[in-house]
Chains A and B, each alone.
Chain A
Amino acid sequence: MRAALLLLAGLALVAPPVPAQIDGPRSGADFLTPDTRTLQDDDFLNPGLFAVEEGRALWNRVEGAAGQACASCHAEADMRGVAARHPVFDPATGGLVDLAGRVNAMRREHMGAPELPRESQAMLALTAFLGFQSRGMPMAVEIDGPARPFFEAGREDWFRRRGQLNLSCAQCHDDLAGRRLRGDTISQGQVNGMPFYRLMWRTMASRHRMFEWCETSLRAEPRAAGSAEYLALELYVAWRGRGLPVETPAVRR
């Protein structure tokens, strides 16, 4: 696999700029430098494991007026597969809900605890802990039934150009995966490793923060994390990466 990538990179140096298309979904981990890859693969080195441990402590901690912890109602083992199938359609709100939205719904409705801001350390820790329970399981979101219109909206968004640089997600992550954008190798923009630890930011980060980062880089007005637009985009991107193993917590440059 790595040999194929090297070959591609070599070809790119001599060949004209034709799309270096790569068949099938490939995890962002396949595009990392060997150093970063080692950080992700070694649980003793992976900085995201601290967040998972912190998340486990929060899972067990009683919070809020109802005197409950997550663990009061759920067994840890029941969380297996949950991250692999989110975001899902939520009949209660008539929209999509992702892991962070789920956590806040539980806190609001069952714990009487305040909602956690999306990029707070506690939320990233809890969602990293949840993701970790699905580690190695194939991503498998539901796109039929009531989820369908959201999926279609997300797909349309993926292909739409935006920002002063006038690029779509697809132009970089479908057509140019494997090519070099200055110091970065462009991956397929998959979300199977999130929340993940980003070395550049020295912190855990969510799927939506990454969407924001790419949009801001395109000099587009980013949507808000947790917005209906990003949830729809997340559903499409998760479906696009169907079958990829959940790798939370991934490590990236």
Chain B
Amino acid sequence: MRPLPAVAALLLLAGTAGAAGPSMDRPLTDRPGDPARGRAVVRDLSKATCLICHAMPIPEEPDHGDLGPPLAGVGARLGSGEIRQRIVDPTTANPATVMPAYFRTEGLDRVGAAFRGRTIYTAQEVEDVVAYLATLTGE
């Protein structure tokens, strides 16, 4: 028996409304993300490093911010789709968030000339970072 449309919609909602909100399950690239590259990408100062706001299990980095939750264990808390959606555009989960969208160019105001029309991460970098965060399953 096929579920009624309303039930199907509810199931869909349940599937997407996790702890961090919506999920983007389709990878942005065909090439799978590389966790080692992702670990380097998140530290890169020229790419608005996640360390500005998050503590991460990267002990060789001295200063970690505390504006966002620590990311140790995030791979156990969230699925890859939820992590991907968060990095691509966190305003889909929380419109008032301070976390920047790393793969979005529309709806931004007065972007500096050097950055206009460009995303913070490339599609491949998003995938690398998703793959890296998915490995952070311990505390």
Contacts and interface: CB of A to CB of B under 8 A. Distances in A.
Interface residues of A, number: 26
B67 A179 contact: yes
Interface in A118-173: 160-167, 171-172
A163 B112 contact: yes
Contact of B69 (A16, A176, A216, A222): A16
Tier of interface size on chain B? 20 to 34
Interface in B42-69: 48-49, 51-53, 62-69
B19 to A, nearest CB: 12
Among A162, A165, A171, A222, chain B packs the most CB atoms within 10 A around the CB of A165
A183 interface: yes
Interface stretch (B8-16, B23-31, B103-111, B124-132): B103-111
**Interface secondary structure of B, over-half rule:** loop
B41 interface: no
A103 interface: no
B87 interface: no
A163 B66 contact: no
Contact of A183 (B63, B109, B111, B112): B63
Nearest to B51: A182
A228 interface: no
A253 interface: no
A233 B113 CA distance: 22
Nearest to A183: B63
A56 to B, nearest CB: 39
A75 interface: no
Interface in A39-63: none
**Interface secondary structure of A, over-half rule:** loop
Given A176-B98, A219-B115, A221-B113, A166 B67 contact: no
A28 B67 CA distance: 19
A181 B53 contact: yes
A181 B52 contact: yes
Given A176-B98, A220-B109, A221-B113, 8 more contacts: A163-B109, A164-B108, A164-B115, A164-B118, A181-B67, A182-B51, A219-B115, A221-B112
23 contacts: A12-B66, A17-B68, A162-B110, A163-B112, A163-B115, A164-B108, A164-B118, A165-B48, A165-B100, A166-B100, A166-B108, A171-B98, A172-B98, A176-B98, A179-B66, A180-B67, A181-B53, A183-B62, A216-B112, A219-B114, A219-B115, A220-B109, A220-B112
Shortest beta-carbon contacts, A-B, top 10 = A183-B63, A165-B100, A182-B63, A164-B115, A180-B66, A162-B110, A219-B112, A219-B115, A220-B110, A221-B112
